[in-house]
């Protein structure tokens, strides 16, 4: 039998009624002849509640016990989904990560998947089971302890299962009906994309689009897993949702596919740093050791042996970043005159595989922002992306202006 992976996010399984609705969708696929692996998240809000309990109990918590607690939300959903399917007359069984087993590293709360042996589940399929309901977000370490994959890890679980079982497709059911050219809450002209390339989706996910977790897209691209993003709350047809696939499967696309944004950005500048070989390593080494997620980096032109080094990071990491560079200064690793942190910025990006073969995208982007009186603080580019840091108060205006400038409401 062909295998299909279906993943349901927290809003899709938030209540028993929604679990029943999701189970009916699973039943439709079983009726088509699929063996189905269902990956479930915890019911909406449950993981946050569990994390809160851990933090209230033990502010400096043991990460192993943190994983034991926060992974329990998915166990509840998996069991309930299996029960509902059984009530529908569909042979189903719930599986926790350790039962599969989904083998991971020992990095608690941020584990990475190492292997998913398919034998146990395939044996049950051979014995007549039609649906394996697997608790997402969790696995088991080499030491036999429960691990979790980080927030949003159920997407990664689903893609990993699709790869391990050579599934025909991996359907991600969520509260939106696909991937849009930008956030519909910001631009009323946002258009749902029928298809999007893995690379574009990866850029959009990493730049702030919340539809799919970045690691899940990386995994899908590496193993060629076809992903489809669908809404749990709308009737489905063969053309519903957005298919995330290889670039070769997209016949024609716009030069720019989407506009992404990240609101929670900070711009940090080390003023008057010694301009010498190895200074970048001296600065970003301590930041890496402190777990700071550095993104955009710009070094100013050197004057009299001194330079300014600017980088961006998430706003919730500013305090740790400040502590890391100040300690590096105290230890004599680096020397700078001052540290300036601007926590009122946002990152806005345009993304598109068509940028590889078309010129003038940067010029059009900068002209559109200039026409709205929006000043650009930092610019970075890649083969299919241009990102800028701007004042946060202009973020929505910038997104709307860029969406209009590239006419993203029109299909290719």
Query: Who contacts 282 (Cβ-Cβ below 8 Å, separation ≥6)?
Result: 328, 333, 334
Tell me which of 95 and 184 has the higher pLDDT: 95
230-239 per-position pLDDT tens digit: 988 887 766 7
Which residue in 210, 236, 91, 104 sits closest to 157, CA to CA? Answer: 104
Residues near 60 by Cβ (< 8 Å), separated by ≥ 6?
none
Band of the pLDDT at 366, cuts 50, 70, 90? very high
- Percent of the chain residues past pLDDT 70, beyond the cut: 97
Mean pLDDT is lowest, of 136-145, 154-163, 301-310, for 301-310
Strands 169-174 and 3-8: parallel
User: How many Å is the Cα radius of gyration of the chain?
Assistant: 23
Mean pLDDT, all residues of the chain: 92
Measured CA to CA, the distance from residue 306 to residue 272 in angstroms comes to 5
Helix 361-371 to helix 395-405 angle (10° resolution) is 130
**Distance between CA 196 and CA 179 in Å, rounded?**
8
Report residue 314's pLDDT band, with 50, 70 and 90 as the boundaries: very high
Express as a percent the part of the chain with pLDDT over 90.
74
The per-residue pLDDT for 238 is 66
List the binding residues: 7-10, 47, 74, 174-175, 180, 185, 210-211
Instruction: Using alpha carbons, list the distances in angstroms from residue 277 to 52, 225, 269, 305.
Output: 45, 43, 19, 11
- Residue 389: strand, helix, or coil: strand
**What's the CA gap between 324 and 330, in Å, rounded?**
10
Burial of 63: CB neighbours in 10 Å, binned 0-12, 13-18, 19+: middle
Domains annotated for the chain, with CATH where assigned, are 3-175 (3.40.1160.10), 259-405 (3.30.2130.10)
Confidence of residue 209 (pLDDT cuts 50, 70, 90): low
For residue 212, name the pLDDT band (cuts at 50, 70, 90).
confident
Residue pair 171/4 in contact (Cβ under 8 Å)? The answer is yes
> Does residue 410 surpass a pLDDT of 90?
no
Q: What is the pLDDT of residue 213?
A: 80
pLDDT of amino acid 178? 87
| Lowest mean pLDDT segment, chosen from 146-160, 200-214, 259-273, 346-360 | 200-214
Q: Quickly state the pLDDT bin for 69 (edges 50, 70, 90).
A: very high
CA distance linking residue 156 with residue 113, whole number of Å: 9
For 377-404, what is the mean pLDDT? Answer: 95
What's the mean pLDDT in 50-76?
94
pLDDT digits (tens, 9 = 90+) for 5-19: 999 999 999 999 999
At 210 the pLDDT is 67
* pLDDT confidence band for 38 (50 / 70 / 90): very high
DSSP letter at 302?
Answer: P
Sequence-separated (6 or more) residues with CB below 8 Å from residue 237: none
Q: What pTM did the predictor assign?
A: 0.81
pLDDT of res. 164:
97
Q: Which residues are annotated as a binding site for substrate?
A: 47, 74
208 has a pLDDT exceeding 70:
no
**Average pLDDT of the segment spanning 390-405:** 96
Please determine, for residue 269, whether its predicted confidence score (pLDDT) is greater than 90.
Answer: yes
pLDDT digits (tens, 9 = 90+) for 332-360: 999 898 999 999 999 999 999 988 888 89
* 69 contacts 147 by C-beta, under 8 angstroms: no
Range in 39-43, 205-209, 244-248, 289-293 the model is least confident about = 205-209
Residue numbers belonging to the annotated binding site for ATP = 7-10, 174-175, 180, 185, 210-211
């Amino acid at each position: 039998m062909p295998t299909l992976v279906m993943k349901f996010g927290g809003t899709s399984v938030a209540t028993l009624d929604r679990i029943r609705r999701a189970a009916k969708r699973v039943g439709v696929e079983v009726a088509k002849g699929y063996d189905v692996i269902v990956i479930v998240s915890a019911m909406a809000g449950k993981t946050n509640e569990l994390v809160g309990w851990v933090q209230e109990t033990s502010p400096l918590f043991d990460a192993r016990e943190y994983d034991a607690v926060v992974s329990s939300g998915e166990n509840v959903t998996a069991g309930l989904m299996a029960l509902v399917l059984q009530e529908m007359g569909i042979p189903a069984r719930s599986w926790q990560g350790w039962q599969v087993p989904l083998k991971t590293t020992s990095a608690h709360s941020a584990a990475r998947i190492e292997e998913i042996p398919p034998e146990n589940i395939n044996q049950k399929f051979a014995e007549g089971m039609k649906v394996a309901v697997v608790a997402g977000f969790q696995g088991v370490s080499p030491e036999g302890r429960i691990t979790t994959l980080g927030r949003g890890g159920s997407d990664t679980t689903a893609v990993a299962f699709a790869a391990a079982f050579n599934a025909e497709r991996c359907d991600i059911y969520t509260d939106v009906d696909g991937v849009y050219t930008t956030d519909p809450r910001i631009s009323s002209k946002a258009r749902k994309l029928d298809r999007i390339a893995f690379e574009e989706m990866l850029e959009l996910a990493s730049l702030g689009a919340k539809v799919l977790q970045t690691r899940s897209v990386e995994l899908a691209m590496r193993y060629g897993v076809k992903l489809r993003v669908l809404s749990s709350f709308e009737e489905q047809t063969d053309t519903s949702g957005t298919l995330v696939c290889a670039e070769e499967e997209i016949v024609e696309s716009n030069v720019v596919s989407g506009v992404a944004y990240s609101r929670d950005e900070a711009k940090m500048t080390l003023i008057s740093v010694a301009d010498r070989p190895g200074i970048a390593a001296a600065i970003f080494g301590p930041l890496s050791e402190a777990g700071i997620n550095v993104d955009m980096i710009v070094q100013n032109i050197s004057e009299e042996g001194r330079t300014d080094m600017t980088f961006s990071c998430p706003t919730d990491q500013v305090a740790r970043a400040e502590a890391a560079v100040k300690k590096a200064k105290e230890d004599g690793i680096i020397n700078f005159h001052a540290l300036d942190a601007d926590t009122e910025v946002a990152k806005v990006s345009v993304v598109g595989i068509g940028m590889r073969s078309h010129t003038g995208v940067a010029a059009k982007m900068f002209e559109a922002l200039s026409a709205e009186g929006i000043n650009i603080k930092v610019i970075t580019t890649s083969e299919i992306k241009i990102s800028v840091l701007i004042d946060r108060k202009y973020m929505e205006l910038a997104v709307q202006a860029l969406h209009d400038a590239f006419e993203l409401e029109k299909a290719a």
